[in-house]
Amino acid sequence: MGTHYFFALPIQPELRQMLEQVSREIDLDLFKHIVYPEDYHVTLAFLGDASEEQLSSLHEQLSDVVTTFPPFELKAERIAAFGREKKPRVLYASVQINAWLDKLHRAVVHACSKSGFIVDQREYRPHITLAKKWRDSNKEITPDWPTLICDSQEVSCLNLYKVAPTEKPRYQVVRTYAFNKL
């Protein structure tokens, strides 16, 4: 397996701390993989394996694209889950989609497609993964998730990450693309 890459928005320390605190109120031991707070992010596009040529092409395209974006607000809304209610596949904090986030997602997906990547075409559901992969098929959880109380955070950049599965944190920033600070 080669090195996998993805584009995502980083989570600022204040929001990260709030999500870490909320995570302590949930029995995350029921999941096989608990995401390290330093790895919290909002994925825009998963690339998988990538050649240097593809990454170079993406860099050229995204360097121009991000200059058209001002910093914008990102807000976590609530704790939710993908999969079965009592045995979820993924536990996450949903993120409110706004015009800038939607436009950025579409621009990143377009750049990825132009560089030869096959990008997920499902409806974009921005979120911050907290835990994934249900551990014990004999156990169930009562989905009475704690309430998120937080302010929004400003997003002023987009990161290209590579996955380092044996390291902590496991997502490492390869390149940062700063937005235009009008």
Domain ranges of the chain: 4-178
pLDDT in tens, 1-20: 578 999 999 999 999 999 99
Alpha-carbon distance of 6 to 25, in angstroms, equals 29
Evaluate whether 173 touches 24 at the Cβ level (below 8 Å). Answer: no
Alpha-carbon distance of 24 to 27, in angstroms, equals 7
How far apart are the two ends of the chain, measured CA to CA in Å?
Answer: 42
Q: Is 127 a catalytic residue?
A: yes
pLDDT in tens, 28-77: 888 989 999 999 999 999 998 988 888 998 998 888 889 899 999 999 99
| Mean pLDDT of the residues in the chain | 90
CATH of region 4-178: 3.90.1140.10
| Structure confidence at residue 182 as a pLDDT band (50, 70, 90) | low
Q: Is 105 a catalytic residue?
A: no
Amino acid at 62: L
Question: For residue 157, what pLDDT is reported?
Answer: 96
pLDDT in tens, 90-110: 999 999 999 999 999 999 999
pLDDT in tens, 157-172: 999 999 998 888 899 9
Helix (H) or strand (E) holding 10: strand 4-10
Question: For residue 151, what pLDDT is reported?
Answer: 67
What are the distances in angstroms from CA 22 to CA 25, 146, 176? Answer: 5, 7, 28
Angle formed by the axes of helices 99-114 and 52-65, to 10°? 140
Alpha-carbon distance of 79 to 93, in angstroms, equals 4
pLDDT in tens, 112-148: 998 888 888 788 999 999 999 988 788 888 778 888 8
Tokens of 54: 């593809």
* Catalytic pick among 33, 41, 59, 110: 41
Q: DSSP state, 30? A: G
DSSP bridge partners of 34? 131
Give the residue-averaged pLDDT of 72-85: 91
